[in-house]
Structure 1
Amino acid sequence: MSRSTPKKTLEPTAVTIPREIKVLVAAAFLIAIGFGIVAPVLPQFARSFDVSVTAAAIVVSAFAFTRLTFAPLSGWLVERMGERRTYILGILIVAASSAACAFAQNYWQLLVYRGLGGIGSTMFTVAAMGLIIRLAPPAARGRVSSLYSGSFLLGNIAGPAVGGLLAGFGMQLPFLVYAAALVLVAILVATQLPAAIALPAQLQAAANPDVRKQVILPLRSALGISAYRAVLTSGFANGWSAMGIRMALVPLFATVALGAGPEVAGISLAVFAMGTGVALIFSGKLADSWGRKPMILSGLAVNGVAMGVLGFTGNEFWFFLVSAIAGLGSGLMGPAQQAVVADVIGNKRSGGKVLAAFQMSSDFGAILGPIAAGLLVDAFSYGPAFLMAAAVALLSFLIWIPAKDTKFS
């Protein structure tokens, strides 16, 4: 009996990662590097139509807005079409949207085309999460989540550098390269993931209510689980901080409050990503051995404190150091959060709406965070805006404390 604990701790490292997971990881890298190629070019392309900075920013936000709006539809499609087909369809929609952006003749066409891409993005995001949940061995869910998140991170780091080089040949080229990369992803998934990967009973579920109850987890049932309710709040907090405040407020703080050039803002984003990458090396394994809850609590604490301090840094050294610590906190909780959702759904069920709700919590935080922070900056200063991010993390921390760890339930 005394030897059972060490065996349990070593179990995740002994599990073999399925080949299909590796296919999804490779696809995630291609998607991320393609997105990174487009990201630095999109605002400049919008500005080329002689519109204001605000109008250019709206083009960027349109993608996130449609992701949030159509997430419930994505969950519905996953439950009826299966994850694999929804994934491929979503990828092709984004590819078509990106190619259309390259040929936009005016600002409004660009806005519509970019917004339509958000529909496909939420489709393949929710479907990919569903595939990983069903394919990942239960004992290695955290490790698989780290691997998948790490591939996205590497792509996001490499993409902007490639995009900057391609923009020298015309601002339309990055969109076409992104579209081509997505078509390649669709071919990769269609040929390397077997069609039989869908749940055998899933196609019968829509016509047979009894079968449907067995293979599809209703959102209402998931909301009855304390850890799932808590992970929605930590997903919101991480979206607010890592995807919202980091992208919208940190660059402005670097240039306005610190009086630094745009290169410092870019370095701060890279440093944040490096901190996240360092955490992903070990956080997934710890989520599988120590449990999901300790990693999420530590991630919320580290990220929340760092984001609160970030607005009061007075020089570039401390700005970079605290940015790295904030990224570390984000990386600590990321794999554990996805593992919680996987634990709730399980390998034998589909949970499109459950996945979509988790995705929406993060997207909602990413949209609301910059808006609230901008209002605080205009009314007060940068300090209170960053403290708000810390308060959001603290609230989620308090909600997580009484929640039950799904790893050991």
Structure 2
Amino acid sequence: GVELDPQVLIISFMTLVIMLGSSVISPVLPLLAQEFGVSYAGAGVLVSAFAMGRIPSDFIGGALVDRVSPRLVASSGAALVALSAALSALAPSFSALLWYRLIGGVGSALFTITAMAFLARTVAPQRMGQAMGFYQSMLLLGVSFGPSVGGLAASLAHSLRAPFWVMALLSLAVTLIGFRWIGEFPTTPAGPHTSVSAQTSARAALASLLHDQTFGFVCVLTFLIFAIRSSTQLNLMPLFAQEELGLSESGIGMVQSLCSLANFFVLWHAGRLLDRIGRRRVTLPALWVTALVLLAFPWATTLPRLIGVSVAFGVVLGYLAPAPAAIIADLAPQGAIGTVMGLYRTAGDIGLLFGPAVVGWVAGHLGFGAAFAGAAGCTILVAALGLSMRETLTSRQVTTEVLPAVEVEEASS
């Protein structure tokens, strides 16, 4: 069975609620943009505004978590999301809505970074894969159920703005839970002298980490995972299903849900596997299989085939997705966990921002086959890069048991 620390459960539950809140508005965003008389591209900008708010805040939030109380950063983040949702519900114009979405992105980044830094800081390395797997499964659950809750709220209240109020209430609940339940970071068990030199040694460890090949690879891998998930599952696959198979919105929604469900069901096993056989042995095979599944998409011209390939895509992403977070947690030096998590999330959010645009452009100009092949090609390149990656699980596990202070040297070696 899986034994998880109560703090992991609380953080994961809060993430579920905040992600539920953030995705509640996804069905109404494009419609609201049209209500303001904006084009499809304008509606796309509305989605990107959230990511634009996140990218600079990832790094700033990470640095904050290392210096300020995690309880304060997480609660402030959730409060900003609540504020952004309430303001969006009352937005008088499209430009105002854009600014409010940007604020939401900042809040979302602050909350997410704190949650991940907290897990990296409090969970033992031998349990990190499981903790990250569970955390991501809760995140996914929130993202998956949000749109249906939002659609329901909009139709019950006969208003496109109703989902924003749902989001505001959910985020407010998380703000209060965070203030009440999030603890402080455990102090590093390396004696009283660390406080003076902690910042300096963390900085030195961070500098050496930036020259670490494995760390560089994980940032590239994170960029790829975010780019491929957003461009394929949320962009290419729906367009392909509509144009090649003539699927309706509800049909597309069903295929997407099956993909997310498959993803959800393997995350637990993926986390346990990461802890049992190591990060490298899970990551590299998952990358090669991802490339194969992407190449199979253009062949999926009937509904059963499309469902099969989409489910396979969900499964293989489920094995791939928790790996980077676990590796980052292995590598991060004690005093700079937030900063390192910030770098990791920045790589992902940049992928989220550019992936759909680039892949969408290729699909529009060169066709679906080229777009899927291009995504597969990028995956193969990253898999080849990954051959130089070292295993990060064992190196830290051995030393942490004996002397936690060795972590910084471990990370920099």
1:248 is aligned to 2:235: yes
1:374 aligns with 2:363: no
Could you tell me how far 1:101 is from its partner in structure 2?
0.3
Deviations 1:48-95 (A, max 9, x none): 111111111110111112212332222222222143321111111111
Match of 1:44 in 2: 31
Q: Match of 1:33?
A: 20
| Alignment-derived partner of residue 197 in structure 1 | 185
Cα gap change, 1:216 to 1:89, in 2 (>3 Å):
farther
| 1:177 corresponds to | 166
Matched, 1:286 2:273: yes
Is this contact kept in 2: 1:144–1:284, CA < 8 A? yes
Shift of 1:109: 0.7
Secondary structure at 2:301 match in 1? coil
Structure 1 residue 21: deviation in Å? 1.1
- Residue of structure 1 aligned with 2:57, choices 70, 74, 83: 70
Supply the AA of the counterpart residue of 2:170. A
* Residue of structure 2 in register with 1:383 after alignment: 369
* Residue correspondences, number: 391
Residue pair 1:17, 1:137 contacting (<8 A) in 2 also:
no
2:368 aligned partner, one-letter code: Y
Which amino acid letter does the alignment assign opposite residue 171 of structure 2?
Answer: L
1:245/1:366 contact within 8 Å kept: no
Aligned counterpart, 1:158: 145
In structure 2, the residue corresponding to 1:197 is in which secondary structure? Answer: coil
Q: Name the aligned partner's letter for residue 185 of structure 2.
A: I
Write the deviation string for residues 109-137 of structure 1: whole angstroms up to 9, x where unpaired: 11111112111111111111100111112
Q: Is the 8 A contact 1:76 1:352 kept in 2?
A: yes
Return the match for 2:176 from 170, 182, 187. 187
| Post-superposition CA distance 1:182-215 (Å, at most 9, x none) | 1111111211123x436479xx99xx76231245
Shift of 1:218: 5.1
CA distance in 1, matches of 2:203, 2:162: 42
Query: Aligned AA for 1:384?
Result: A
For residues 352 and 217 of structure 1, the distance between their equivalents in structure 2, rounded to whole angstroms, comes to 15
Instruction: Give the letter for the 1:138 counterpart.
Output: P
Structure 2: distance between partners of 1:113 and 1:218 = 37
Matches within 5 A, 1:5-404: 16-168=3-155, 169=157, 170-194=159-183, 196-197=184-185, 199=187, 210-214=197-201, 219-345=206-332, 348-404=334-390
- 1:220 is displaced (CA, Å) by 2.5
Q: Distance in 1 between matches of 2:166 and 2:204?
A: 38
Q: Distance in 1 between matches of 2:289 and 2:262?
A: 11
Change (3 A) 1:388 1:69: farther
Q: Distance in 2 between matches of 1:319 and 1:71?
A: 35
Q: What is residue 409 of structure 2 aligned with on the other side?
A: none
| CA positional deviation for 1:335 | 1.8
Write the letter of the residue equivalent to 1:383: G
2:400 is matched with none
Whether the 8 Å CA contact 1:303–1:328 is kept in 2: the answer is: no
TM-score (normalizing by structure 1): 0.90
8 Å Cα contact 2:125/2:393 also seen in 1: no
Q: Is the 8 A contact 2:126 2:393 kept in 1?
A: no
Contact 2:245 2:301 in 1 (8 A): yes
Structure 2, unmatched stretches of 5+, are: 396-413
CA distance in 1, matches of 2:22, 2:286: 26
> In the superposition, relative to structure 1, how do residues 61 and 130 fare at CA in structure 2: closer, same or farther (>3 Å)?
same
Contact 2:230 2:356 in 1 (8 A): no
Separation in 2, partners of 1:320, 1:338: 28
Q: How far apart in 1 are the matches of 2:10 and 2:160?
A: 31
Deviations 1:22-71 (A, max 9, x none): 11011011112212211111111121111111111110111112212332
For 1:325-347, what per-residue CA distance to the aligned partner results, in whole angstroms no more than 9, with x for missing partners?
A: 1111111022222110110115x
Please state how far the C-alpha of 1:179 moved relative to its aligned partner. Answer: 1.0
CA distance in 2, matches of 1:246, 1:108: 28
- Say if 1:302 and 1:325, in contact at 8 Å, map to a contact too: no
Question: 2:405 matched to which residue of 1?
Answer: none
Matched-pair identity in %: 27
Structure 2 partner of 1:8? none
Q: SS where residue 128 of structure 1 aligns?
A: helix
Give the TM-score normalised by the residue count of structure 2.
Answer: 0.89
| TM-aligned CA distance change 1:216 to 1:145, over 3 Å | farther
Runs of 4+ in 1 over 6 A off after TM superposition: none
Cα shift readout 1:347-393 (whole Å, capped 9, x = no counterpart)? x4332221111111111112221121122122210111111111121
Whole-angstrom CA distance in 2 between matches of 1:310 and 1:375: 18
Does the Cα contact within 8 Å between 1:244 and 1:365 map onto a contact in 2?
A: no
What secondary structure, in the 3-state scheme, does the structure 1 residue paired with 2:27 have?
Answer: coil
CA deviations 1:123-164 (Å, max 9, x no partner) are 111111100111112211000111111111112222111111
8 Å CA contact 1:343, 1:407 repeated in 2: yes
Does the Cα contact within 8 Å between 1:217 and 1:350 map onto a contact in 2? no
CA contact (8 A) 2:66 2:335 kept: no
What amino acid maps onto 2:37 in structure 1?
A: D
Separation (CA, whole Å) in 2 of partners of 1:365 and 1:387: 18
